Structure 1
Amino acid sequence: MGQNSQPSNASFKWWRERDDEFGAALSLNAQLLHSEQSPYQLIEIYDTAPFGRVLVLDGYVQASQADEFIYHEMAIHVPLLGREHEDANILIIGGGEGGALREALKHDFVSNITMVEIDKRVVELSSAYLGVNGDYDDPRVNLIIGDAATFADEALSNNETYDLILLDLTEPVGPSAALFTQAFCEKLVKLIKKDGVIVDSDSLYLSRAPDGTPQGSFLQEVSSDGENLVSVMKRTGLLPHIEVYHTKVPLYPGADFGFFLYSHHGESYQTPVKSFTGNHYNSALHSAAFALPEWQKRWINT
């Protein structure tokens, strides 16, 4: 069933996103359009009335047609427009629905985009059902279907470096699990240019501490050993500078979504150097995204 096809003779039913004992989960009145177990993960496509089609991997919402542009615009335009770039070389790890690629292609100063996605079926099904992807046939695009850790080894052996590395990963329960580790971070650090930046992201979850004070946690992107990329970078100092900005993505749990910029240089990305207007992004929003609530600053800086 393609992007413009309509399901027939099936009722919408309440579907609940997995929560892994967090105690809160997204529920959607949805209709299953497609489900298959790839060699790597369970891929599902749902249709909803208010949000259009939704990509779900291993029980977690990845993107909806209604709001995917918010995440993808903020993930790409903030790091690309927060500093001067010429002939920018970009690496996207994951990103199988193609929205990050679409946004990166909007800038003429981007000369090359390498996208490494382990699961070919995510690319194919997202293109067929969601249709939010960039142009994989653009001459600047190099789509690689393969393991990111293996790709990193090969890129290092070829002395490849990147101005921007976007980690557009699923939760660490499937093929992404091996990427939420110090070993993989050590490879990434060698791939980023001295004046480049790595972008990571996750839902920021507000809860109440036992003493009644507000506290935060990363809702989903925590590996089985209790670490995520933020904690690895803080513990190791592999990239000593971390800058944080955030946005609101309605279909992600809690809607508050954080982005983490890791760099060698430590210069701020808060002030855009070029003007650009998207469906969500603009220059004022770019700068405002770096304003964090006090509870969040205390938690992240702890």
Structure 2
Amino acid sequence: MAIWFSQQDTEHVKHSMEVKQQLFSGQSDYQHIDVFDTPEFGKMIVLDNEIIFSEADEFIYNEMVVHVPMAVHPYVKNVLIIGGGDGGVAKTLIQYPEIERIDVVEPDEMFIEVSRKFFPETAKGFDDERVHIVNMDGLRFLRRASDAYDLIINDSTDPFGYSEGLFTKEFYGNCYRALHADGIMVYQHGSPFYDEDEAAFRAMHRKVYRSFPISRVYQASIPTCPAGYWMFGFASKKYHPLVDFDPVRWQQRGLKTWYYTTNLHRGAFMLPKYVEDILNEEETRS
């Protein structure tokens, strides 16, 4: 008899996939962690019944949160990853030799240990000497940081539960203060496709738009995300993701990618009308 895992995307929608084997199940101090082996997506990690990534599509997310800002900012040396316990974002960042330090602030030590054990190819980013892991709440860490980073990537899981503090007005204000004068912040923006996710999507954009002089949203198609459609936020003190985008400089690096291209970079910021309407409504709210 086949075993299936189902992610409840909405009250009326489930995303289900067949499971060959459950490899791990445990409760950390922060969340319940499961690892499944599936025929279609390979191994995948699930936190509190929400798919975080799978071997089949993790490259999409990691490439889009790293290469987009790195193709815009010309002088990234110091990077902060909030969350990032699976190591995927760090693995993608270490391809850039000019980066001098990457701080990964992930409070859940069990999440890191599970990722190292079951996803060594993804977690190998932790082994680079430039990567420093700090087991601390991200908001608490940011309160002590000022003018320290060129790039901040908010890789936390969702705006609810223990990571809720990473989606507040205070958090984005602290990110602003922690960045250099030309710093960039990239963050998960969720998906507005389902009605019950739209309120969080709106609130997030409203807070960031009021915290940074430049705020844009871009998109990617990720099969294991709700509706297969995921959004990211790009916020900056100086650089615009299209006006300051330097495709020639990025292409000269010769980095191998599976998803990101410089043509896709431009296209990712061309959003559907209903998403544009949502963003415009929040930007013009009094």
Q: C-alpha separation between the residues in 2 aligned to 1:93 and 1:228?
A: 20
Alignment of 1:274 onto 2:250: yes
Match of 1:85 among 72, 75, 79: 75
Shift of 1:191: 0.4
Q: Secondary structure at the match of 1:189?
A: helix
Q: C-alpha separation between the residues in 1 aligned to 2:203 and 2:114?
A: 28
What amino acid maps onto 2:4 in structure 1?
A: W
Aligned ranges 1:117-128 → 2 under 5 Å: 117-128=106-117
Gaps (5+ residues) in structure 1?
1-10, 208-215
Q: C-alpha separation between the residues in 1 aligned to 2:128 and 2:5?
A: 37
Greater mean deviation of Cα atoms: 140-149 or 171-180:
171-180
CA shift digits 1:105-137 (9 cap, x unpaired): 001111110000010111110111122123323
Question: For the Cα contact (< 8 Å) 1:25–1:253, is it kept in 2?
Answer: no
Alignment of 1:230 onto 2:220: no
Q: C-alpha separation between the residues in 1 aligned to 2:197 and 2:129?
A: 37
Aligned partner of 1:45 in structure 2 is: 35
Q: C-alpha separation between the residues in 1 aligned to 2:223 and 2:89?
A: 18
Q: C-alpha separation between the residues in 1 aligned to 2:193 and 2:6?
A: 20
Q: 1:56 to 1:169 in 2, by over 3 A?
A: same
Aligned partner of 2:225 in structure 1 is: 252
Question: For the Cα contact (< 8 Å) 2:150–2:182, is it kept in 1?
Answer: yes
Q: C-alpha separation between the residues in 1 aligned to 2:44 and 2:206?
A: 30
Alignment of 1:180 onto 2:167: yes
Aligned partner of 1:32 in structure 2 is: 22
Q: C-alpha separation between the residues in 1 aligned to 2:258 and 2:241?
A: 24
Percent identity of paired positions between Structure 1 and Structure 2: 31
Q: C-alpha separation between the residues in 2 aligned to 1:108 and 1:42?
A: 36
Match of 2:50 among 34, 57, 60: 60
What amino acid maps onto 2:151 in structure 1?
A: L
Match of 2:60 among 70, 84, 88: 70
Aligned partner of 1:243 in structure 2 is: 216
Aligned ranges 1:129-278 → 2 under 5 Å: 129-131=118-120, 132-156=122-146, 160-206=147-193, 218=197, 222=200, 228-234=203-209, 237-265=210-238, 267-269=240-242, 270-272=245-247, 273-275=249-251, 276-278=255-257
Q: Secondary structure at the match of 1:17?
A: strand
Gaps (5+ residues) in structure 2?
282-286
Q: How many residues align?
A: 273
RMSD, aligned CA:
2.1
Question: For the Cα contact (< 8 Å) 1:32–1:45, is it kept in 2?
Answer: yes
What amino acid maps onto 2:36 in structure 1?
A: Y
Aligned partner of 1:289 in structure 2 is: 268
Q: Secondary structure at the match of 2:191?
A: strand
Q: C-alpha separation between the residues in 1 aligned to 2:278 and 2:49?
A: 28
Normalized against structure 1, the TM-score is what?
Answer: 0.83
Question: For the Cα contact (< 8 Å) 1:90–1:162, is it kept in 2?
Answer: yes
What amino acid maps onto 1:98 in structure 2?
A: G
Q: C-alpha separation between the residues in 1 aligned to 2:59 and 2:17?
A: 19
Q: C-alpha separation between the residues in 1 aligned to 2:158 and 2:237?
A: 26
What amino acid maps onto 2:250 in structure 1?
A: K
Aligned partner of 1:211 in structure 2 is: none
Q: C-alpha separation between the residues in 2 aligned to 1:290 and 1:17?
A: 28
Q: C-alpha separation between the residues in 2 aligned to 1:297 and 1:230?
A: 12
Question: For the Cα contact (< 8 Å) 2:60–2:260, is it kept in 1?
Answer: yes
Shift of 1:217: 7.0
Shift of 1:228: 4.3
Shift of 1:146: 1.3
Question: For the Cα contact (< 8 Å) 2:59–2:258, is it kept in 1?
Answer: yes
Alignment of 1:109 onto 2:98: yes
Q: C-alpha separation between the residues in 2 aligned to 1:32 and 1:41?
A: 17
